[in-house]
Amino acid sequence: MGDQEVKLFSLWASPFGKRVEIALKIKGIKYEYFEEDLSNKSSELLKYNPVHKKLPVLLHNGKPVCESLVILEYIDETWKSERSLLPEDPYARAMARFWAKFIDDKCIAAMWGARKNSEGQEEGIEELTEHLKTLENELKGKKFFGGDEIGLVDITADLIALWLGVLLELKGIELLTKEKFPRLCEWIDDYLDHQIIKETLPDRETYRDFLLKAKF
């Protein structure tokens, strides 16, 4: 795989983009990174993701792959190594895909709800609490969602590990506490302490300032 060309078009502040970077680093894949400016989408982005015009986009030997979860599976299958992102067993794979989708569909929607001001917020927080309880339960007896090592679900949950905490802090919502979610909080600590995660995710302060300026 040595002379394959891998490019990533992404945004430093995007949890979706960061997922792809984490996966590439776990697999030890060399890639070229292109920071995009959302206010002035490059013609490359429009060419490579004409359907959604969104980031991240992975370009492998000139061919684009879009949607972060699709990209993660593509990376896992294309660069087969000892370090797998998904389990081998079909049932375990189905479970991993289920939880990744749960985080992407349900948790994100609830986070957006909790972000609102006034009325919508209470409902959003209720929904988010339910989903976090579900994830808390799923972590029973495991260090990571993937078991002993981080896998597809942990990578997908980067937005729970960093983005959610910052969002809740800025909104003054006390939800993600050790009392309410002991396992999830321990998972967050272990996750953020992981070498590759530390190297890849933005600094919490930097991200917090970015959100403040963006009047989130």
Partner 1 sequence: MADDEVILLDFWASMFGMRVRVALAEKGVVYEYKEQDLRKDHKSQLLLEMNPVHHKIPVLIHNGRPVCESSNIVQYIDEVWNDKAPLLPSDLYQRAQARFWVDYIDKKLYEVGRKSWAADGEEKEAGKKELIENLKVLEGELGDKCFYGGDTFGYVDIALVTFYSWFHTYETFGNFSFEKECPNLMAWIRRCLKKESVSKSLPDSQKILDFAVFMKETYFTKSG
CA 155 to chain centre: 5
Q: How far is the CB of 176 from partner 1 (least distance, A)?
A: 20
Q: How far is the CB of 19 from partner 1 (least distance, A)?
A: 15
By beta-carbon proximity to partner 1, the closer residue of 21 and 67 is 67
Q: How far is the CB of 214 from partner 1 (least distance, A)?
A: 25
| 3-state class (DSSP) for residue 66 | strand
By beta-carbon proximity to partner 1, the closer residue of 19 and 60 is 60
CA 71 to chain centre: 12
By beta-carbon proximity to partner 1, the closer residue of 66 and 111 is 66
By beta-carbon proximity to partner 1, the closer residue of 48 and 207 is 48
**Residue numbers at the binding site for partner 1 (CB under 8 A):** 51, 60, 63, 65-67, 69-71, 73-74, 77-78, 90-91, 93-94, 97-98, 101-102, 134
Q: Please state the length of the chain.
A: 216
Distances (CA, A) of 157 to 19, 30, 68, 107, 184: 9, 23, 12, 9, 11
Q: How far is the CB of 145 from partner 1 (least distance, A)?
A: 14
Residue ranges of E strands in the chain = 6-10, 32-35, 57-60, 63-66
